[in-house]
Every structure is written in structure tokens, then in C-alpha cells.
A = this chain, B = another copy of it.
Amino acid sequence: MIGGDAAGMSAASQARRLRGPDELEIVAFERGHFTSYSACGIPYWVGGDVEERDRLIARSPEEHRAREIDLRMRTEVMEIDVAGKRVRARDVDSGAESWTSYDRLVIGTGARPIRPDMPGADAPGVHGVQTLDDGQALLDTLARTRGRRAVVVGAGYIGVEMAEAMINRGYRVTVVNRGSEPMSTLDPDMGRLVHKAMQGLGITMVNDTEVTEVRTGEDGRVRAVATPDAEYPADVVVLGIGVRPETRLAAAAGLPLGGRGGLLTDLAMRVRGHEDIWAGGDCVEVLNLVSGQEQYIPLGTHANKHGQVIGTNVGGGYATFPGVVGTAVSKVCDLEIARTGLREKDALRAGLRFETVTIESTSRAGYYPGASPMTVKMLAERRTGRLLGVQIVGREGAGKRVDIAAVALTAEMTVEQMTALDLGYAPPFSPVWDPVLVAARKAATKVRAF
């Protein structure tokens, strides 16, 4: 196993469950200090919602070793020799190298953060938030920093979550975003709702611009962030501009990569064309079941599923990962943001003709205390009426409603079929027509015309 986080160690654990140490020897290499941790939890640790770093660690190296997994920490794999069925690993601290042979190889090398190529990007006070070490470094900076102005670069889910974290830490937050609206995983009309809500939370949103420089003061620390048009004072800068697949090792070994740089696998998560090599997690591309196209979606939930499937197969069982529908939820303070399936531009790119509807409803019966407004946008294919995608922006109770659409997409339901879905109803939980059904009704009427 190359990589000791979600995909790799899930695979290791599952394989061990199926095959004892007498039957299967498992060696895992991890170049960092931690295993099996929730990178998705880092913004909440930084923001103070989660008090201790170790709460984010699902399973420590010792716990893995107790399950007879030969886990080699601080050991980086430098080369995969596919023909020789072996890997060359290096002890990060001592520099010592050695070859280890394998019958079956699992690649779970994850992602690496996109680092903007600009002056000052490495200045003290500029932080990424991909790893626990990153999070600790940021927290150390916050403890030392007197000023209270933070600039977050990027307005995807990491960006908005970090905006919330910095607000919770008492910072004045500016988010600088390359796109026309925050959350480019939504259509811009829905991103606009996020934009407004973030402004309502006191966050300064700067869209349609790029950071060209991080400016430093006399002490060498970050002082401001510059765009072509302006300068934003900053005592700390958080980079939330996403990641790309960490596949340099795989590329050097000649393994097949897709258009987004991720490893390509079959349904059993086996690297295409390679009987004995599996890959999963943030280093692979996944099939989008709605568009029929490969996509790069680095998410812990997929990594865990990949690991489970790989571990089952490596352990001699049988399991597949059929693909994703592109579900994601996130929140910024009390705003919940969710999406699944295709955005308008995804549907166009996939060659689909479609109709869109957007409706306003509430999370609970309108008369029930705490009912909060919710906007649901729905895309449905012309002629067939097949559901193509759903985006939801609202407050409490909005986010997980996207699961209804996620299952409907998986089942290839039409919006007409969805209008009859028997969803949970009681006044504290939903209006008598769930907001997703209200959207489906409207969409069904609209596609009927084609």
C-alpha cells in the first residue's frame, strides 16, 4: 500500500479482515506523520469547532500495527518497478533506501495542493490546509498573529469552509475568487445566493479576480494580497484553491492517467491494463454516472469507498465501485450548500439538451418554528425527462436533502417519477411537498413540453 490515509488504509484494513496474516502480508508506506485522518475536518479544527488534532485521526499507526499491518511511517515510495513488481522506498529522516517486492500493489498517494506560482506565495503567514501538519502550522501562526485580517484565496468548498473557520477565530475575512461567483461547483445563479449569504455573514467577497502577489512587510511576513486592481491587507493568508492528483510516481512508472491527471481504473479499482495494481482515493479519476465521463473529485467519502472495494478485491473477494453522481455538501456558518449530478455547463459538455427550474420552499412546514427558506435548482433532460442534477442553497435541513436526488440520479429516475416519491413528511421535517418534490413537479411540467 503506497499511502497511509483513507484509501490505502481502508484497503489494508478490509484486506486484513478477509485474510489473516498467515495468508496475506500487508506492508504500507506513509511518508507523513499520520495515518487515516480526516483532512475534511481540518477547517473545523482550525475554526475551533474541533478542539484536538487527534480527534481527526480515525486510526493511529499503532492501531493499524495491532491489526498486523506492517506500517512504515515516514517512508516515501520513490519508484514503482512495474515489471519487477517491487517498489523503492526511502526513510524520510535517515535517507536510507530499500526495495520491497509485491504480489499486489495498491496506490493511494492522494492529492497535492495547487500552489499559486506568484511572488510571496511561500512567505510566513501563507498557509495551505491539506494536511494535519498544514493545519498545525496555520494554528501556530494564528496564535502568534496580532492582526485580525485574513484573506482566503479560492471560494470552493475549502475556501468557504476556511472563511467560516477564520470568522469563528474572530478574523475579518476577505475571500478572493477567480470565478464569477463562489462555489464554482454550482451554476453561477446558485453561486450568487452563496455570495449574498456570505456577504450577510460579514465576509468580503471579491470575485472575478486573481491574486498576483503576496506582499510582505519588513519582517518578511505577509502584509497584503494583491490583485491586478487592488490590495487587500492580510495578517494571514489561507490558500484554498484545491488540489490535483498526486500521480507523479504512477506517471513515472508508465501507469495510465486521464485528462485530469488522475489514474484510470476499471470498476474493481484496478489500474487499467494492470492485473496486480489497484488505485483509489484522491489520486484517481472517477466515472460520473450521469455524464458518462471521467471526472476528478477528491473527497474522503469516495476514498473510503475505494479502499473498501480495493481491500475486498485484494483480499480475494469481489466488489466494484460503479462511479459517482457528483454529490457534495458544504456549509459556511449556517448556510448549507449542496449539489449533485450535472451543472448546466456539464450537461452541455456531455451533449445533453435539458430544462432547468428553480424553486423556493422551506425546510419545514411554513408554520413550524425554525422553517428556513431553501432554493432548489433542478436540471432534467428533454424528451426522456431524466433527472440530470440538483443544487440546493439554504439553512438547516437543506444540505442533506441532496441525497434524495443523489439516489434518484443513481437509479436514473425521471423527474415525473420523482414527483411520486414517498418522502418523509411531518411538519417539523418538511412541508407537505418536500422542496425536492416541488422542483420535480415544476421540472416535470417543463420537460413535458419537449
Contact = CB atoms under 8 A, between A and B. Distances in A.
A408 interface: yes
Interface of A: 6, 38, 40-41, 44, 49-50, 55-56, 157, 161, 299-302, 304-305, 308, 320-331, 336, 338, 340, 365-369, 397, 399-404, 406-408, 410-411, 413, 417, 419-430, 432-434, 441
10 contacts: A40-B426, A41-B367, A320-B420, A328-B425, A340-B422, A399-B426, A406-B424, A407-B407, A408-B411, A410-B413
Q: In the A-B complex, list the 10 residue pairs whose CB atoms are closest, starting with the nearest.
A: A411-B411, A329-B424, A301-B425, A55-B367, A407-B407, A327-B422, A324-B422, A325-B422, A403-B423, A41-B427
Contacts of A411: 407-408, 410-411, 413
Given A367-B50, A401-B400, A407-B421, A427 B40 contact: yes
Nearest to A397: B400
A367 B429 contact: no
Nearest to A338: B424
A305 B325 CA distance: 28
Contacts of A404: 403-404, 407
Contacts of A300: 425, 432
A331 B403 contact: no
A308 B416 CA distance: 13
Nearest to A321: B420
Nearest to A289: B422
Given A424-B327, A426-B330, A38 B365 contact: yes
Contacts of A400: 397, 400-401, 424, 429-430
A38 B330 contact: no
B406 A408 contact: no
Contacts of A301: 422-423, 425, 432-433
Contact of A425 (B329, B366, B432): B329
A369 B441 CA distance: 36
Contacts of A365: 38, 40-41
Contacts of A397: 400
Given A365-B38, A367-B55, A432-B301, A410 B422 contact: yes
Contacts of A329: 424-426, 429-430
Contacts of A330: 426
Given A40-B365, A320-B420, 11 more contacts: A40-B432, A305-B419, A308-B441, A321-B420, A327-B422, A328-B425, A329-B424, A329-B429, A401-B403, A407-B407, A408-B411
Nearest to A326: B422
Most buried by B among A44, A368, A417, A432: A432
Most buried by B among A56, A299, A301, A338: A301
Contacts of A421: 403, 406-407, 410
Contacts of A369: 49-50
Contacts of A327: 422-425
A157 B49 CA distance: 35
A68 B127 CA distance: 64
A368 B426 contact: no
A397 B304 CA distance: 22
Contacts of A406: 421-424
A164 to B, nearest CB: 10
A334 B440 CA distance: 30
Nearest to A328: B424
